[in-house]
Amino acid sequence: MRRILLHTCCGPCTIIPVERLREQDWYVHGFFFNPNIHPYQEFGRRLDTLRSFARGIDLPLIVRDDYDLDSFLRQTVFREQQRCTICYTLRLEAAARLALKSRFDAFTTTLLYSRHQKHDLAVEIAREASLKFGIPFYYEDFRSGWKEGQERSRTLGMYRQQYCGCIYSERDRFHGGTGKPADRNEARRKQGPPK
């Protein structure tokens, strides 16, 4: 059976890619490496959710929980406009390197599932990592299962994050991408009624 390393960022984004890969007779092994996620409590919630889901579907999981936030921030400071390129490169090169070292047949990523990610950029960087490390990159556009994956994650009661992961995406989600505070009424609507 062919073995594939699936870089994964969270539980909800893993549902459809694992299912699709298994349908094609891949033996899937998950890989959690996301030093971009901020703050640490968010990192922990996503990892806990993924671990719980992985146990439930018998998905072997390799976890790098060293949380090297410093490295991610050092690379992005003063280059914030390139943060997604830096982030994808850091994570996908780690996946390619591990896939080669552990003798997988290929690697891929859950970044190809989310409608909120820069799909073409992730593909380009994954292909570059494939060439750099000499390990095949498996491409599939998992976004066609986006709605189904979202519904299933709700049904399963999974923790579903509100932003991509880095401190900049948290700012853009809750403060507004313009550098100005987000509309307070809109923020209140999104938060729901006070408790």
- Residue 146: pLDDT band (50, 70, 90) is very high
List the strands of the sheet with 2-7, edge to edge: 61-63, 26-32, 2-7, 106-109
**Quick one: pLDDT at residue 187?**
46
**Residue 130 above 90 pLDDT?**
yes
**Quick one: pLDDT at residue 55?**
98
Residue pLDDT, tens place only, 131-144: 999 999 999 999 99
Residue pLDDT, tens place only, 157-186: 999 988 788 778 877 888 876 555 444 445
Residue pLDDT, tens place only, 49-60: 999 999 999 999
Residue pLDDT, tens place only, 76-129: 999 888 999 999 999 999 999 999 999 999 999 999 999 999 999 999 999 999
* Average pLDDT of the chain to the nearest whole number: 90
CATH of domain 2-183: 3.40.50.620
* DSSP string over 116-185: TS-HHHHHHHHHHHHHHHT-PBP---GGGGHHHHHHHHHHTT----SS-SSHHHHHHHHT-TTSSPPPHH
